[in-house]
Chains A and B, each alone.
Chain A
Amino acid sequence: MTATLTPRNAVVAALLVLLALLPVYAALTGNTFALSLFTRIVIFAIAAVSLNLVMGFGGMVSFGHAVYLGIGGYVVGILAKEGIGSGFVQWPLALVVSGVFALAVGALSLRTRGVYFIMITLAFAQMAFYVASGLERYGGDDGLTIYKRSTFAGALDLSNKTLFYYLCLVLLLAVIWLVRRLVDSRFGLVIQGVRSNERRMRAIGFSTFRYKLVCFVISGVLCGLAGVLLANHTDFVSPAIMQWTRSGDLIVMAVLGGMGTVMGPVIGAVTLLVLEEALSRVTEYWPIILGPLILLVVLYARGGIDGLLTRLNRG
């Protein structure tokens, strides 16, 4: 892919520069809140990119993706509480559990489509939500404080907020790169073919179910990674992390930013969370402003903000 300087690419480049330089700004101004906000944004961008792999490219609207944030977070939290603080154990285990959960959800839900698919993914997420609420030993409804962030044998000190931010950013870039390679690979074309016309895919010889399932698992694992980071960021995990409204937020990020590209959800995550933050300072009724804004983009900008920027170029 050749990168030319279109307004859209300029915005994406500016965004990446902004993300890369943010800790410098935070250090110069002593604004630690900005660093914390953007750590959160970067983590949610990872989750939104992972959701968009199944939703935007695969056409599978998962309305329970926050559950993988929860699984990633709870694996870290529970292991920390049980005295296993090593990230070398916590992180791989969190990804494996996320993957296994996605495999189970996918195996059942991918046999259905449309509204049924949405409802089954939601139902699984709600189930996990109530299971987490019932874990008395791990805080139940109130959640679980994580007293020590994941350790990496002294190699990485995640309590260093700047370092943690850059770790999240590097992981976001890695996920973007990975998803980008994925969607242009043979596997990725199959996934997009299924979104476009599954019946035709079967007629030309693809057993589509297994490809959709693998795609769903990959997405779950990547979202689980976001959960691991989120728990480390907030030093806390509670059932609220996987509330269905959170799943909705992820969908809004992807739709707002643009589902057609890998970068779209990143733009969406930044836009949504920054707007949320800025508007909530102006008025406590900020959703009244944010709601119609989202509606406008969805109604009048097919392809989200990314699509809008791309069209600017064509005039």
Chain B
Amino acid sequence: MAEPLLRIEGLAKHFGGVIASDDISLDVAAGELHAIIGPNGAGKTTLIGELAGEIAPDAGRVLFAGQDITRLATPRRSALGLARSFQITSLFPEFTALDNVALAVQAHAGHSFRFWAPARSAVELREPARAALARVGLAARADTVVSRLSHGEHRQLELAMSLATKPRLLLLDEPMAGLGPEESARMVKLLRELKQEVTILLIEHDMEAVFALADRITVLVYGRVIASGDPASIRANAEVRQAYLGEQEAVTHV
């Protein structure tokens, strides 16, 4: 097997007495969509934080394309091609949608110590930004100020910004959070298209979406990996059913 794009080895993190990451190891192969599921408090968001460089793990290593990035600062990881979206929408609300994405393009277009030329006239920033907006279906909203966009559009914009950095790996932290059924369906369709182009590590609560999209699924409970495999084997796994799916089933069938 070829070297995985992302390798996590023995990652551990505790906050006081709470163990958020308990010896987590997993591989994400290039080209796959790897989903991480787990009940609330399973340590999914901590894991994203550790991968994005916002939380320093107590032990373990993170390798990206063979390079040890465990202690690398967030902006450097982004430069290597690791992009993340945020569970709670994190945008620049006073700028337009296009400005938001253009900033993401700009971050990867050399240094920004350019003090004179108006950035909003820079075709080399605006064109890729428009393309990324079009990719997620927001082309018509390019010039709308972000604070006037709907929640669903915010989620799409999150994705466009991540895409605009030309990532090799997308870390998506609950991209469906707060979406209505129709918007969710659109997001699933979009992610299905995107997985042809870029490797994705998806953290998501929406089980329907996860099983529709994932090539492989890792189940996290109390910071520990309890199962990892293709969707069919996860669905069949007794421990997983007990820890997570059963509970979810009960909720969705109300």
Contacts and interface: CB of A to CB of B under 8 A. Distances in A.
Interface of A: 181-182, 184-190, 192-193, 196-197, 199-208, 211, 214
A230 B115 CA distance: 27
Contacts of B199: none
Contacts of A214: 113
B114 A204 contact: no
A187 B122 CA distance: 13
Nearest to B85: A203
22 contacts: A184-B119, A185-B114, A185-B119, A186-B106, A186-B112, A187-B113, A188-B115, A189-B112, A189-B120, A192-B92, A196-B92, A196-B94, A199-B54, A200-B92, A203-B52, A203-B83, A204-B78, A204-B103, A204-B161, A204-B164, A205-B165, A207-B76
A38 B125 CA distance: 43
B18 interface: no
B74 A181 contact: no
A206 B115 contact: no
Chain B's interface size range is: 35 or more
Given A190-B103, A193-B95, A197-B90, 16 more contacts: A182-B116, A185-B118, A186-B117, A189-B103, A193-B92, A193-B103, A196-B93, A197-B91, A200-B86, A202-B73, A202-B74, A203-B52, A203-B84, A205-B79, A205-B165, A211-B113
B108 interface: yes
Interface of B: 52, 54, 73-76, 78-79, 83-84, 86, 90-95, 99, 102-104, 106-108, 112-120, 122, 125, 161-162, 164-165
Leading 10 A-B pairs by shortest Cβ distance? A205-B78, A205-B107, A196-B92, A186-B114, A186-B119, A186-B112, A202-B74, A204-B104, A207-B75, A200-B90
B172 to A, nearest CB: 13
A185 B116 contact: yes
Given A193-B103, A204-B103, A211-B112, A184 B120 contact: yes
> Most B CB atoms within 10 A — which of A190, A203, A207, A211?
A203
Nearest to B73: A207
B115 A203 contact: no
Contact of A203 (B74, B108, B120): B74
Contacts of A188: 115, 119
B119 A189 contact: yes
Contacts of A203: 52, 74, 78, 83-84, 86, 90
Contacts of A190: 103, 106, 112
A205 B122 CA distance: 19
> Most B CB atoms within 10 A — which of A181, A187, A192, A205?
A205
A274 B192 CA distance: 63
Nearest to B74: A202
> Most A CB atoms within 10 A — which of B73, B78, B103?
B103
Contacts of B115: 181-182, 185, 187-188
A123 B112 CA distance: 31
